[in-house]
Chain A
């Protein structure tokens, strides 16, 4: 079945780095746009980053621009988010999501938790 599984979350100190991964299965990964969305504890959803199916087009939210890097490996059916210079406000559950088009997300992973704290 169609599935997205995130991994790589954990506890990191401010200023540290983490790399999140999202493993896709059950569909042709290279046909779809992908995004990372996060949710801080007790807060709403915040779109973080987007990558086109080929990887040629990338967008970032202003809050992470210059610190986060999205990438994908279509041969490995995987999406990544390299997070550097982490701040306390980056603490959240990070979801990867599939986008059939540039306007909605039809499949979501269960999320991976990132905690930035000293």
Chain B
């Protein structure tokens, strides 16, 4: 199972919006509405930000939103803040009983 494709880096200024893409195939992203996004600050554990493509767990600011079109999912962060600078990983259920999940390679978000 190949990893999902994410841009290696994105950047934006405080207050702006940025979108991180996550491209898979019809066997994973395109086949299920089970895409999740995780934020990871350096030296810290990942934190769930979005699940089921667009749902936010309790406590996650509504500046974070998710969507999907075809085989590509997206995470949009609006009103960028300094603390949003982190690595972001997408993950999709792949439906295979030998390899049910696949992660993206990660995107480094820099707040300028």
The minimal Cβ–Cβ distance linking A56 to chain B, given in whole angstroms, is: 13
Given contacts A105-B48, A106-B51, A108-B45, contact A45 B106 (CB under 8 A): yes
Residues in chain A near residue B98, CB distance under 8 A: 59, 62
Count: A-B pairs, CB below 8 Å: 64
| A29 CB within 8 Å of chain B | no
- Chain B contributes a number of interface residues (CB within 8 A of A) equal to 27
Interface size class on chain A is 20 to 34
With both beta carbons as reference points, the residue of chain A lying nearest to B93 in the complex is identified as A103
Q: How far is the CA of A25 from the CA of B91 in the complex (A)?
A: 25
Question: Within B30-71, which residues are at the interface with A (CB < 8 Å)?
Answer: 32, 34, 36, 38, 40, 44-48, 51-52, 57
Complex interface bits, B17-35 against A, C-beta within 8 A gives 1, otherwise 0: 0000000000000001010
Q: How far is the CB of A18 from chain B (nearest CB, A)?
A: 20
Whether B89 contacts A103 by the Cβ 8 Å rule is: no
Known contacts A59-B97, A103-B36: A46-B103 contact under CB 8 Å? yes
Question: Judging by beta carbons under 8 Å apart, are A44 and B104 in contact?
Answer: yes
7 contacts between A and B (CB under 8 A): A35-B101, A44-B104, A45-B89, A45-B91, A103-B101, A104-B52, A108-B45
